[in-house]
Amino acid sequence: LTALLSPTWFVAGETGSWRILRVEAVKGDSLPAARRLSVCGPGDDVAGAARWSLQGVVGHARYVQSQEKAALGAVQPALGRESATCAAFIPIRKSAAWWELAQDERRAILEERSHHIAEGMKYLPAIARRLYQSRELGEPFDFLTWFEFAPEHADAFEQLTALLRRSEEWAYVEREVDIRLSR
Ligand code: HEM
């Protein structure tokens, strides 16, 4: 068998280039405490025992429209910038009610009513982001979200998460763990 999708693994334990600073259960159950996190692709060796691991794949965008795609492409930075020594890893699961909605209804909630993309875009290029899909892999979370930024943008990132958590979209979030890291 040939793997069609190459998952990325987030492995928490005693090793890894990211030091875990705090783990906050925003909603629902937390994840076990661990000291370090490694982000691994296919072929990477994971050293040591894992406290927990989560996997996701970078899929195709579901909701982004052409203008937004162009706007994002023009400003979004790459991961791995030298200055971006802070990271946030935020696994999220949405409710059955969310998944029962039609695609157009989900888009309306996410963007027309919650302004997720328009508001998020204001924080680029300070924040580098990557969205991993996890639901189809039978994982405990639907999404693994990953963000990298310099220490001077940590406050801005707090503002953004606070804003999103007050939105209509977040009423459909039933589990969210906010993990902060540094390297
Ligand atoms: C840094 C600025 C941000 C930008 C520009 C941004 C942009 C986006 C975009 C364009 C999508 C839609 C992808 C698609 O079409 O499938 C998306 C999805 C998502 N974002 Fe953000 N985002 C940002 C910050 C955040 C933050 C801080 C969180 C978590 C606290 C977050 C969580 C999510 C989740 C869970 C999804 C998947 C939603 C779903 O498919 O139901 N985003 N984001």
Residue nearest to atom 13 of ligand 1 (CA): 61
- Dihedral pair phi/psi, residue 78, rounded to 5°: -80, 160
33 lines ligand 1 (CB under 6 A): no
pLDDT tens for each residue of 135-179: 999 999 999 999 999 999 999 999 999 999 999 999 999 999 999
> Closest residue (by CA) to atom 3 of ligand 1?
120
Query: Do the beta carbons of residue 127 and residue 167 sit within 8 Å?
Result: no
- What does the pLDDT look like over 95-118, one tens digit per residue? 999 999 999 999 999 999 999 999
Ligand 1 binding pocket includes 124 (Cβ within 6 Å) = yes
Contact 26, 165 (CB under 8 A): yes
Q: pTM for this structure?
A: 0.97
**57 close to ligand 1 (CB < 6 Angstrom):** no
Measured from the Cβ of residue 117, the count of other Cβ atoms closer than 10 Å reads 18
Ligand 1 pocket, residue 76 CB under 6 Å? no
Task: Provide the 10 A C-beta neighbour count for residue 14.
Answer: 12
Q: What is the pLDDT of residues 31-51, one digit of tens each?
A: 999 999 999 988 887 767 899
